[in-house]
């Protein structure tokens, strides 16, 4: 069999014969490319590789040689026997690949629209796959936005429910009250009426009775008189007659006088209404309205339910744009041309051409639909339409008059096909659910049966099986397939099935419309017409489709109908949360962090909010009402205006603050600090230069400084540094905190803190006679600091800081409590904070007058002049300020702060200028170490553990972060690691092209960055560093640049590009920053270290390729100690070199090997505040710790995947609490020791 | 760089799977067209017992043109010069695409067994070989011991 095989193998390509040609010498070779390659074109002959016989080439080239038919038969026989797959390329002709222009069997590539060879195609598919996975990562990372939205929507649902029920209760309550009031009043009125009636009736009957009696009496009297009085009967005596007469007279009188007061009783009772009854009825009838806008303001921010408006429009919009971009990419990524086409189709692209060709090439190589269906992973319009095209008569014969139109409609049909395809679609985005696509399902099935890989694989080119020609099958097969689909879908969704054709056609049409960005292009008439045709065409197709589609329809319909009434509200709610949650950094956050002004914020936030514009929403709106669209536009405009306004506002604020020298922004704070630090060093220089002529008129402060100078034993120096430096971190924090809660008044105290600090130093020092050791003073101070435990020392104790911070409580009281009250600055503190900055600045000259000597002024002013001449574009007053600043620390610091706030360098003159004095000073300067480290130093000292001991004990892993992956908290080849403020852990997740931030306990906090070369994007970033103000500085390795991000992860700036010139990079790797914000970059392939200012201005460089002292070969990582020793891992020289800031080698240690103190390709380096050096000895897979002088202290770790074992070490970092962070690259994790 | 032709892949695979006795050819990690070759000196030749390092490079148009082969180990041979270049017809004009790496290396091994002083590359060696073959063979043995055995 083997020999048989060998006989079927071409001697040239060592492959099975393809189109074997028989040479006259009876040797056979493949025609292409083997025999072709043998042709000697000059002599037009070919030399047989086997027997070296030379043959003339026939007139029509090598194909003119006879085909070895026998061999071909054997080949076929062999195929039959072994059952192996036939050569896919048999019968094909080689073409030049349009990409690599090699001759090969080409096929059409959907990625580049060209006919290319398999290799290139494979590469393209790989690209697509990678793109998809990348986008998928982005989606995964972004999906939480939708989830947040979902939760918000849920919350909102709840809110609206509670709202409605509460309003309902309210209505009920009102109803009850009104009812009761009405009833009560009615009853009361009735009662009154009754009472009135009864009394009146009683009096009337009374009167009536009396009257009747009177009448009868009088009548009887009259009768009596008539009868008896007139007769002369003497029965009556005179007396009696007199009486009778009197009675009768009285009666007459009574009758005459009696008057019935008719009016009394003719009074009518009338119901007098307080209000017009009609009005009243109206009032009651409309006793309340459900005012939605009112509800908004009630619900407002919390729920933002009924409130489309949300702040930060710009960003949200951009997010959306981003999102939609992703979507498009995704769509494109699937090679789903049809999907992307719909715009093009709408924009009038001729239908027949490209889609058709692509359709054919993609699905149609075999040419028949059934084949497509088998191979392609996704259903597409072209496919669908082709289905119709191919079988119009069979499926449409019932209404054959439709057929002429079919072709025209095809184009509409196309768009629809996707929609109506049995694919669950996102009702908002129109993104199909891949798992529901029959093709994908099919693929998945294949996958499960052990064939292929992942779900979201791009449409693979139809595997060129030579399928034993199945007749174009559709109807039967489709039914079965779709039956299955619908079954699965039913299982998936429990969707209801109904055969309503209207339901079917409506969403279809709507969907199409929804998907079209320009709906007006489609007239309603067209729509209806089309939908009918659609329906007509649909219905006859098959029942399976019918049962399936409605489920789809209902699925799509529900969200739509929900949105139809309150489309704006609903969609806006959905959009709204997206913005708030979606944006990695909302305006609020940013504002909180960077700006102050919380009070103005709410209105600002509210104002732009109504304006929310989302692609989704607008699409909805446009569908619903044509008027909605322009409105939307207007809103957008206003919103953007407002947004810009707010941004301007913020800008203004920062500007203001800058000019006010209030280091308000973080940068300002740092700069102020650094300026301050620098100043101190300058001060020191001056001192030194002037030591001999010590002036007696110095203030306590200066004298203390003097003493500091005079006794600089090492320990003292470090303590010294802690003292001078203890403030800065606090500034960083306080300013940030203050910015959260305070307006511009927040920062000024900083100024006086400087002074207070100095005064405190002065106090302390003055307490101790000069003879006494400075150490004592320091110790005492430290104790006090420990006692008070104020946040000033421990910058990471946020809460206490907020509580005690001099800026948040009464500053003077605070200072007084700390024993600083005696200093003159306390007066200032007592004053209003807002004016304070000015005050202290005013003060400073006074102090300077007392504290500084003329010489200082002279010495420094030259320096100031230098600065000015170099960078100065300031006004005269500021000039003055600058010069005055020279003489006094606080003033100069403020001046420097101002200068530095513009990104001007200060250190360049002191540190990098050539003066030896300067550099020495810098080394010994107490002002340069990083604050965080200093703080840590204190903390440690207080805790009583020496770092040495601590390191000697190191070996146990405390915890670890991450595993391989691209989700949050996972890594793919992490490289750099750094410690940020609060001991946050910052990791350069290199092959995920992002930065991840964890808290000190390893909990994921945030991430930023993605693949790319635009702003804020990375390509395999390597080093990370965090400067004192929390900005992230990233070595964007394959983009050959450095990027800087603000503490919230927003892009600030980038600098550098590929090259060897100054400021250019070749694979920048490790990066670090020092106390003054200078950026040190290991420019790996240029074998050098470059130094930049924080704004990216090139400052200097050192190192060149080589292994001599001061030379570097592939320096990987870098660290700067508190004493300005620049530690570089000189990887390929297997050593650590330590430079001073000028690039002069101070020392180096290590050699190749695996003994203690030896290295194999050391990579990560870190330095703690005490100068202890930690080295990631990557070749030996261990961590080594060295004392500051380079003597070996401890090593731990070995190769492996367990705890405390490493595979490929990268960056290391040391936290202020003595933990060591190790980036264990091949294990895709960070280990903490 | 264009992908590796199937033929090279196949040859490499076969070299790994069915190594030729006395010959080892391993592609370089970074360049699959570059092979590190070790050929043992054939028995009954002055080179017996030696391990000769060669380098073999497959040019871009391989197999239409011959591979480039060179001795790295110093060898005393009339057809191999001081630089290790080999005078072998199949590496020059007699190259045929039907030949493979293994056949080339076998040919080289054969060349060690049968020096051809009539078609010399190293003239002095060839001269001695023709004039005083025993001394030449002694030299060859000496060189083999010195250069091809200590590792």
* pLDDT at residue A875 greater than cutoff 60: no
Given 3-state DSSP classes, what are the helix, strand and coil percentages for chain A, each rounded to the nearest 5? 55, 15, 30
Tokens 């060998």 label which residue?
A6
Pair type for strands A985-989 and A106-109: unpaired
Binary contact (B7, A12; C-beta < 8 A): yes
- Mean pLDDT value across residues A699-711: 42
- Mean pLDDT value across residues A1021-1037: 89
The one-character DSSP state at A1152 is: B
- Residues of chain A found within 8 Å of residue B10, distances taken between Cβ atoms: 14-15
- Residues of chain B found within 8 Å of residue A52, distances taken between Cβ atoms: 94, 96
B116 is a domain residue: yes
The one-character DSSP state at A462 is: P
Residue A158: helix, strand or coil by DSSP? helix
Q: Please give the distance of CA A449 from its chain centroid, rounded to a whole number.
A: 39
Mind listing the pLDDT tens digit for each residue in A962-1013?
888 888 888 988 999 999 878 889 999 988 899 999 988 888 988 998 888 8
Cα–Cα distance, A540 to A563 (Å, whole number): 32
Binary contact (A12, B98; C-beta < 8 A): yes
Can you give the pLDDT at residue A39?
A: 84
Cα–Cα distance, A21 to A33 (Å, whole number): 12
Count structural domains, chain B: 1
What is the token pair recorded at A989?
Answer: 């997740």
- Of A8-17, A304-313, A850-859, A863-872, where does the model show the most confidence? A8-17
What is the token pair recorded at A823?
Answer: 């200093």
| Residue of A1044, A930, A1031, A1045 lying closest to A980 (CA atoms) | A1031
Binary contact (B94, A14; C-beta < 8 A): no
Peptide bond into A325 cis (omega under 30): no
What is the token pair recorded at A395?
Answer: 């499926």
Helix spans in A61-117 (H): 69-82
B1 is a domain residue: no
Select from B7, B64, B94 the Cβ nearest to the Cβ of A14. B7
Q: What is the CATH number of the domain that holds B75?
A: 3.10.110.10
Cα–Cα distance, A836 to A842 (Å, whole number): 9
Å from B115 to nearest chain A CA?
24
Tokens 């100065």 label which residue?
A872
Pair type for strands A28-30 and A1032-1036: unpaired
- Mean pLDDT value across residues A41-70: 87
Q: Which residues neighbour A952 within 8 Å (Cβ) at sequence distance 6 or greater?
A: A1193, A1194
Show which of residues 40-59 on chain A sit within 8 Å of chain B, judged by CB atoms: 47, 49-50, 52
Sign of CA dihedral A941, A946, A950, A953: negative
Nearest chain A residue to B94 by CA distance is A52
Per-residue b/e over A125-153, b at no fewer than 16 CB within 10 Å? beebbebbebbbbbbebbeebbeebeebb
Provide the residue range defining the domain that includes B118.
Answer: 6-147
* pLDDT at residue A863 greater than cutoff 60: no
What is the token pair recorded at B109?
Answer: 């091994």
* pLDDT at residue A730 greater than cutoff 60: no
Burial of A798 (0-12, 13-18, 19+ CB in 10 A): middle
> Between helices A337-346 and A354-363, what is the axis angle to 10°?
170
Å from B13 to nearest chain A CA?
12
Can you give the pLDDT at residue B151?
A: 59
Can you give the pLDDT at residue A422?
A: 52
Can you give the pLDDT at residue A120?
A: 81
Binary contact (A14, B6; C-beta < 8 A): yes
| Residue of A738, A588, A736, A743 lying closest to A660 (CA atoms) | A743
Mind listing the pLDDT tens digit for each residue in A808-832?
334 444 444 444 434 333 344 334 3
B55 is a domain residue: yes
List residues bridging with A1174 in a β-sheet.
A1166, A1185
B57 is a domain residue: yes
Mind listing the pLDDT tens digit for each residue in A890-903?
444 444 444 444 44
pLDDT class of A237 with cuts at 50, 70, 90:
confident
Å from A1131 to nearest chain B CA?
21
Main-chain phi, psi angles of A1088, to 5 degrees: -155, 170
pLDDT class of A231 with cuts at 50, 70, 90:
low
ipTM value for the complex = 0.81
Decide if B10 touches A, using CB distance below 8 A.
yes
Mind listing the pLDDT tens digit for each residue in B94-118?
888 889 999 999 999 999 998 888 8
Binary contact (B6, A12; C-beta < 8 A): no
- Disruptive mutation site among A6, A14, A32 for chain B (greatest number of B CBs within 10 Å): A14
Mind listing the pLDDT tens digit for each residue in A121-156?
888 888 888 888 888 888 888 888 888 888 888 888
Instruction: Give the angle A575-A577-A579 at the CA atoms, nearest 5°.
Output: 75
Average pLDDT, chain A: 63
- DSSP strands (E only) in A64-176: 95-96, 103-104, 106-109, 114-117
Can you give the pLDDT at residue A376?
A: 40
- Residues of chain B found within 8 Å of residue A34, distances taken between Cβ atoms: 97
Residue A1211: helix, strand or coil by DSSP? strand
Can you give the pLDDT at residue A1175?
A: 92
Nearest chain B residue to A100 by CA distance is B2
Mind listing the pLDDT tens digit for each residue in A1036-1093?
988 899 999 988 888 999 999 888 888 889 889 999 998 888 899 999 889 999 999 8
Decide if B114 touches A, using CB distance below 8 A.
no
Binary contact (B64, A38; C-beta < 8 A): yes
* pLDDT at residue A611 greater than cutoff 90: no
Can you give the pLDDT at residue B122?
A: 75
- Residues of chain B found within 8 Å of residue A49, distances taken between Cβ atoms: 96-99
Q: Give the number of other Cβ atoms within 10 Å of residue A285's Cβ.
A: 7
pLDDT class of A324 with cuts at 50, 70, 90:
low
Can you give the pLDDT at residue A266?
A: 65
Can you give the pLDDT at residue A353?
A: 41
Nearest chain B residue to A52 by CA distance is B96
What is the token pair recorded at A986?
Answer: 């910052």
| Residue of A449, A445, A456 lying closest to A378 (CA atoms) | A456
- Disruptive mutation site among B4, B8, B18, B64 for chain A (greatest number of A CBs within 10 Å): B64
* pLDDT at residue A1212 greater than cutoff 70: yes
Per-residue b/e over A604-633, b at no fewer than 16 CB within 10 Å? bbbbbbbbbbbbbbbbbbbbbeeebbeebe
Å from B16 to nearest chain A CA?
16
pLDDT: which is higher, A513 or A1185: A1185
What is the token pair recorded at A351?
Answer: 């239908």
pLDDT class of A263 with cuts at 50, 70, 90:
low
Binary contact (B63, A100; C-beta < 8 A): no
Cα–Cα distance, A966 to A1208 (Å, whole number): 19
Can you give the pLDDT at residue B68?
A: 93
Cα–Cα distance, A359 to A337 (Å, whole number): 9
A1051-1055 sheet: strands from edge to edge = A1024-1026, A1032-1036, A1041-1045, A1051-1055
- Residues of chain A found within 8 Å of residue B94, distances taken between Cβ atoms: 52
Can you give the pLDDT at residue A834?
A: 38
Main-chain phi, psi angles of A1230, to 5 degrees: -110, 130
Can you give the pLDDT at residue A207?
A: 86
List residues bridging with B70 in a β-sheet.
B55, B85
Binary contact (A14, B11; C-beta < 8 A): yes
- Residues of chain A found within 8 Å of residue B58, distances taken between Cβ atoms: none
Catalytic residue numbers of B read: 87
- Residues of chain B found within 8 Å of residue A119, distances taken between Cβ atoms: 2-3
Cα–Cα distance, A1123 to A1074 (Å, whole number): 10
* DSSP secondary structure string for all residues of A803-816: HH-TTTS-HHHHHH
Percent residues over pLDDT 90 in chain A: 7
Please state the three-class secondary structure of B42-109 as a single string: CCCCCCCCCEEEEEEECCCCCCCCCCEEEECCCCCECCECCCCEECCHHHCCCCCCCCCHHHHHHHHH
What is the token pair recorded at A1153?
Answer: 């090997």
| Residue of A506, A561, A440, A478 lying closest to A498 (CA atoms) | A506
Can you give the pLDDT at residue A427?
A: 66
pLDDT: which is higher, A42 or A234: A42
Can you give the pLDDT at residue A293?
A: 56
Peptide bond into A403 cis (omega under 30): no
In this prediction the pTM is: 0.32
Q: How many CB pairs under 8 A join A and B?
A: 35
Q: Give the number of other Cβ atoms within 10 Å of residue A373's Cβ.
A: 20
| Residue of A451, A439, A448, A434 lying closest to A374 (CA atoms) | A439
- Of A239-248, A295-304, A772-781, A857-866, where does the model show the most confidence? A239-248
* pLDDT at residue A845 greater than cutoff 70: no
* pLDDT at residue A1160 greater than cutoff 50: yes
Q: Which residues neighbour A1203 within 8 Å (Cβ) at sequence distance 6 or greater?
A: A957, A960, A1231
Cα–Cα distance, B74 to B54 (Å, whole number): 10
Provide the residue count of chain B. 151
Cα–Cα distance, A215 to A909 (Å, whole number): 133
Instruction: Give the angle A936-A941-A943 at the CA atoms, nearest 5°.
Output: 95
Decide if B11 touches A, using CB distance below 8 A.
yes
What is the token pair recorded at A779?
Answer: 């110790």
Decide if A102 touches B, using CB distance below 8 A.
yes
B48 is a domain residue: yes
Can you give the pLDDT at residue A1118?
A: 92
Mind listing the pLDDT tens digit for each residue in B38-52?
999 888 888 888 899
Decide if A13 touches B, using CB distance below 8 A.
yes
Cα–Cα distance, A726 to A792 (Å, whole number): 7
| Residue of A997, A1008, A1010 lying closest to A969 (CA atoms) | A997
* pLDDT at residue A45 greater than cutoff 90: no
Cα–Cα distance, A939 to A1185 (Å, whole number): 21
């Amino acid at each position: 069999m083997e020999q048989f095989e060998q006989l079927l193998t071409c001697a040239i390509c060592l492959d099975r014969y393809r189109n074997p040609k028989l040479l006259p010498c009876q040797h056979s070779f493949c025609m292409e490319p083997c025999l072709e390659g043998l042709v000697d074109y000059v002599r037009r002959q070919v030399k047989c590789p086997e027997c070296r016989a030379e043959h003339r080439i026939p007139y029509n080239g090598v194909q003119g040689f006879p085909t070895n038919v026998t061999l071909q038969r054997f080949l076929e026989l062999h195929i039959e026997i072994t059952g192996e797959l036939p050569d896919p390329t048999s019968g094909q002709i080689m073409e030049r690949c349009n990409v690599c222009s090699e001759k090969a069997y080409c096929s059409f590539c959907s990625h580049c629209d060209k006919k290319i060879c398999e290799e290139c195609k494979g590469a393209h598919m790989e690209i697509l796959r990678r793109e998809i996975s990348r986008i998928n990562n982005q989606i995964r990372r972004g999906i939480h936005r939708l989830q947040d939205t979902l939760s918000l929507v849920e919350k909102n649902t709840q809110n609206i429910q509670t709202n409605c029920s509460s309003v309902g209760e309210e209505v009920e309550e009102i109803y009850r009250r009104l009812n009761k009031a009405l009833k009560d009043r009615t009853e009361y009125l009735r009662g009154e009426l009754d009472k009135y009636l009864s009394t009146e009736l009683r009096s009337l009957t009374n009167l009536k009775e009396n009257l009747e009696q009177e009448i009868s009496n009088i009548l009887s009297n009259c009768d009596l008189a008539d009868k008896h009085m007139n007769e002369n009967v003497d029965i009556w005596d005179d007396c009696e007659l007199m009486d009778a007469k009197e009675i009768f007279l009285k009666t007459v009188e009574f009758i005459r006088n009696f008057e019935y007061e008719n009016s009394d009783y003719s009074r009518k009772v009338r119901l007098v209404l307080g209000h017009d009854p009609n009005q009243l009825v109206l009032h009651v009838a409309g006793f309340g309205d459900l005012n939605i806008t009112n509800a908004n303001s009630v619900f407002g921010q919390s729920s933002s339910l009924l409130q489309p408006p949300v702040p930060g429009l710009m960003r949200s919009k951009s997010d959306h744009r981003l999102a939609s971009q992703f979507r498009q990419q995704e769509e494109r990524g699937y090679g789903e041309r049809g999907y992307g086409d719909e715009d093009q189709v709408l924009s009038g692209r001729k239908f027949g051409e490209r889609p058709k060709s692509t359709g054919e090439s993609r699905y149609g190589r075999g040419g028949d639909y059934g084949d497509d269906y088998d191979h392609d992973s996704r259903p597409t319009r072209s496919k669908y339409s082709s289905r119709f095209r191919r079988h119009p008569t069979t499926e449409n014969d019932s209404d054959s008059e439709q057929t002429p139109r079919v072709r025209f409609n095809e184009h509409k049909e196309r768009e629809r096909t996707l929609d109506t395809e049995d694919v669950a679609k996102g009702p908002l985005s129109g993104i199909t659910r891949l798992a529901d696509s029959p093709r994908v399902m099919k693929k998945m099935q294949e996958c499960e049966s052990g064939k292929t890989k992942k779900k979201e694989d791009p449409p693979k080119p139809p595997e060129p099986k030579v399928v034993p020609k199945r007749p174009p099958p559709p109807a039967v097969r489709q039914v079965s397939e779709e039956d299955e689909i619908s079954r699965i879908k039913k299982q998936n969704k429990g969707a209801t099935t109904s055969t309503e054709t209207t339901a079917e056609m409506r969403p279809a049409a709507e969907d199409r419309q929804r998907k079209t960005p320009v709906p007006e292009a489609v007239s309603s008439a067209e729509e209806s017409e089309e939908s009918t045709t659609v329906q007509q065409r649909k219905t006859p197709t098959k029942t399976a489709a019918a049962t399936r589609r409605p489920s789809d329809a209902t699925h799509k319909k529900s969200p739509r109908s929900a949105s139809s009434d309150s489309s704006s509200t609903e969609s806006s709610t959905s959009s709204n949360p997206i913005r708030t949650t979606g944006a990695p950094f909302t305006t609020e956050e940013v504002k909180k962090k960077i700006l102050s002004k919380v009070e103005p914020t709410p209105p600002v936030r509210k104002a732009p909010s109504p304006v929310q514009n989302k692609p989704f929403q607008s699409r909805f709106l446009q569908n619903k009402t044509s008027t909605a669209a322009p409105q939307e536009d207007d809103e957008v405009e206003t919103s953007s205006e407002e947004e810009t306004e707010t941004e301007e506002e913020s800008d203004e604020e920062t500007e203001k603050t800058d000019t006010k020298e209030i280091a308000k922004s973080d940068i300002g704070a740092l700069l102020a600090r650094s300026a301050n630090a620098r100043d101190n060093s300058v001060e020191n220089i001056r001192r030194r230069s002037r030591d001999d002529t010590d002036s007696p008129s110095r203030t306590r402060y200066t004298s203390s400084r003097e003493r500091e100078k005079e006794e600089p034993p090492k320990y003292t120096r470090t303590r010294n540094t802690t003292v001078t430096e203890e403030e800065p971190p606090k500034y960083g924090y306080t300013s940030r905190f203050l910015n959260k809660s305070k307006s511009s008044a927040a920062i000024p105290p900083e100024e006086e803190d400087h002074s207070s600090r100095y005064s405190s130093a002065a106090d302390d020092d003055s307490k101790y006679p000069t003879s006494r050791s400075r150490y004592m003073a320091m110790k005492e101070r430290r104790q006090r600091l420990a006692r008070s435990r104020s946040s000033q020392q421990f910058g990471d104790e946020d809460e206490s800081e907020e509580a005690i911070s001099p800026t948040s409580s009464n500053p003077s009281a605070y200072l007084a409590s700390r024993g600083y009250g005696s200093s003159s600055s306390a007066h200032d503190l007592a004053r209003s904070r807002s004016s304070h900055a000015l005050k202290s600045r005013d003060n400073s000259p006074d102090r300077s007058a007392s504290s500084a000597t003329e010489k200082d002024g002279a010495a420094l002013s030259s320096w100031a002049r230098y600065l000015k001449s170099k960078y100065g574009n300031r006004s005269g007053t500021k000039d003055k300020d600058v010069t005055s600043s020279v003489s006094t620390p606080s003033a100069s610091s403020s001046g420097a702060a101002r200068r530095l706030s513009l990104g001007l360098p200060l250190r360049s003159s002191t540190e990098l200028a050539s003066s030896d004095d300067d550099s020495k000073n810098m080394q010994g300067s107490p002002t340069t170490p990083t604050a965080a480290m200093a703080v840590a130093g204190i903390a440690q000292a207080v805790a009583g553990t020496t770092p040495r001991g601590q390191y000697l004990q190191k070996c146990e892993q405390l915890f670890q972060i991450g595993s391989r992956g691209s989700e949050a908290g996972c890594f793919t080849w992490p490289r750099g690691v750094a410690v940020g403020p609060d001991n946050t852990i910052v990791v350069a997740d290199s092959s995920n092209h992002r930065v991840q931030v964890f808290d000190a306990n390893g909990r994921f906090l945030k991430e930023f960055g993605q693949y790319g070369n635009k702003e804020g994007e990375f390509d395999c970033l390597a080093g990370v560093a965090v400067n004192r103000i929390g900005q992230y500085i990233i070595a964007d390795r394959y983009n050959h640049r450095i990027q800087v991000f603000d503490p919230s992860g927003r892009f600030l700036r980038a600098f550098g590009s590929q090259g060897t010139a100054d400021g250019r990079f070749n694979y920048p790797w490790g990066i670090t920053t020092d106390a003054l914000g200078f950026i040190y970059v290991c420019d790996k392939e240029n074998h050098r270290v470059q130094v930049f200012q924080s704004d990216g201005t090139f400052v200097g460089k050192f190192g060149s390729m080589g292994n001599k002292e001061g030379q570097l070969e592939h320096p990987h990582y870098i660290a700067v100690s508190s004493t300005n020793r620049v530690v570089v891992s000189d990887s390929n020289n297997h050593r650590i070199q330590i430079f001073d800031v000028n690039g002069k080698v101070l020392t180096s240690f290590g050699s190749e090997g695996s003994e203690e103190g030896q290295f194999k390709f050391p990579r990560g380096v870190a330095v703690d505040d005490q100068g202890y050096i930690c080295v990631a000895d990557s070749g030996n897979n261990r961590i080594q710790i060295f004392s500051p002088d380079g003597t070996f202290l401890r090593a731990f770790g070995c190769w492996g995947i367990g705890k405390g074992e490493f595979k490929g070490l990268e960056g290391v970092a040391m936290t202020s609490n003595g933990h060591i962070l190790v980036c264990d690259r091949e294990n895709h994790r960070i280990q903490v020791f | 760089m264009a992908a590796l032709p199937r033929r090279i892949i196949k040859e490499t695979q076969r070299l790994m799977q069915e190594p030729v006795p006395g010959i080892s050819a391993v592609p370089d990690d970074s360049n699959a067209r570059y092979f590190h070759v070790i050929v043992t000196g054939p028995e009954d030749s002055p080179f017996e017992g030696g391990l000769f390092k060669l380098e073999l490079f497959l040019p871009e148009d391989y197999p239409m043109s011959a591979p480039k082969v060179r001795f790295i180990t110093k060898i005393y041979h009339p057809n191999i010069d001081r630089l290790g270049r080999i005078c072998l017809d199949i590496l020059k004009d007699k190259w045929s695409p039907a030949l493979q790496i293994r056949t080339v290396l076998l040919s080289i091994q054969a060349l060690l067994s049968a020096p051809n002083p009539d078609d010399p590359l190293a003239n002095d060696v060839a001269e001695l070989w023709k004039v005083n073959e025993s001394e030449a063979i002694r030299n060859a043995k000496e060189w083999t011991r010195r250069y091809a055995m200590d590792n």
